[in-house]
C-alpha cells in the first residue's frame, strides 16, 4: 500500500474516532440531560463537587471564550482543516507523533464544526472543578496541541544534547549553502 495512502488512513482513522466519540457523547447529553442540568451516575456522586456532566451550549471558541463568534470560528475551522490536510503529507515518515497530534486536532476541529453548521452552537458537557465546560472535540484539540508541543520540545532538547556532546546533527545538510560557502 502506498505510504501516503496509509498515512492518510491513520490521519482519518484518528480523526474519525475523535469525531465519532465527540458526536455520540454530545447527542447522548442533548437527549438525556436537560439544558442547564447536571448528571452523574449515582455510584459516582462522590465526584459531584469535582466533576459532572452538564448540558451547555457555546457559540465561541474552546472552553467558552469569545462568545458569539460562531461565524468566525466556523470559517477558522475550515481553514484549520484545510491546513492539516494540506500539510499532513509533508510530515516526515518518522513523525508519527506529529501525525497522531494532527489527527486529534483534525477530529476536534471537525467535531465542533459539525455542531456549528447544524446548530450554530457547540454542545459542551464536561465540567471539572471550576474549569470552563468543554467537550471531546475541545479535549482532542488540546491534547493534540500538547502532544505536538511536547514532541517539538523533546526533539529540540535531544538536538541540543547532541550538539553539546559533539555528536553530528541529525538535520539534513543544505548543499546549496555549502556550495556558496565554497565558492566565496
Domain ranges for the chain: 3-37+47-170
CB of 43 closer than 8 Å to CB of 118: no
Measure CA 99 to chain center. 11
pLDDT at residue 167 in the model: 74
Most confident listed range (48-52, 67-71, 163-167, 173-177): 48-52
Question: 26: buried, middle or exposed (CB in 10 Å: 19+, 13-18, 0-12)?
Answer: buried
- pLDDT tens readout for residues 100-154: 999 999 999 999 999 999 999 999 999 998 888 999 999 999 999 999 999 999 9
pLDDT at residue 180 in the model: 45
Supply 139's cell numbers.
479535549
- Per-residue confidence band for 2, with pLDDT thresholds at 50, 70 and 90: confident
CB of 15 closer than 8 Å to CB of 114: no
38, containing H or E segment: strand 38-39
pLDDT at residue 94 in the model: 76
pLDDT at residue 69 in the model: 75
pTM of structure: 0.80
Q: Which of 7, 93, 115, 124 is labelled catalytic? A: 124
- pLDDT tens readout for residues 24-74: 999 999 999 999 999 998 999 898 888 999 999 988 776 666 777 788 899
- Catalytic site includes residue 124: yes
pLDDT at 82 over 60: yes
Q: Which of 7, 22, 138, 151 is labelled catalytic? A: 138
pLDDT at 181 over 60: no
Higher-scoring residue by pLDDT: 178, 47: 47
| Pairwise CA distance, residues 113 & 117, whole Å | 6
| Pairwise CA distance, residues 77 & 134, whole Å | 17
pLDDT at 171 over 60: no
- Catalytic site includes residue 115: no
Amino acid at each position: 500500500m502506498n505510504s501516503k495512502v496509509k498515512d492518510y488512513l491513520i490521519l482519518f482513522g484518528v480523526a474519525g474516532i475523535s469525531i465519532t466519540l465527540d458526536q455520540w457523547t454530545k447527542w447522548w447529553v442533548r437527549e438525556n440531560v436537560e439544558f442547564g442540568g447536571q448528571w452523574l451516575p449515582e455510584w459516582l456522586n462522590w465526584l459531584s463537587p469535582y466533576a459532572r456532566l452538564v448540558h451547555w451550549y457555546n457559540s465561541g471558541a474552546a472552553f467558552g471564550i469569545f462568545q458569539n463568534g460562531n461565524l468566525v470560528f466556523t470559517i477558522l475551522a475550515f481553514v484549520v482543516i484545510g491546513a492539516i490536510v494540506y500539510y499532513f503529507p509533508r510530515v516526515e515518515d518518522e513523525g508519527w507523533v506529529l501525525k497522531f497530534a494532527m489527527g486529534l486536532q483534525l477530529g476536534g476541529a471537525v467535531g465542533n464544526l459539525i455542531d456549528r453548521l447544524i446548530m450554530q452552537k457547540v454542545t459542551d458537557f464536561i465540567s471539572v472543578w471550576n474549569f470552563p465546560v468543554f467537550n471531546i472535540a475541545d479535549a482532542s484539540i488540546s491534547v493534540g496541541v500538547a502532544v505536538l508541543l511536547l514532541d517539538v520540545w523533546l526533539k529540540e532538547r535531544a538536538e541540543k544534547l547532541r550538539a553539546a556532546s559533539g555528536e553530528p546533527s541529525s538535520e539534513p545538510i543544505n548543499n546549496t549553502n555549502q556550495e556558496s560557502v565554497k565558492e566565496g
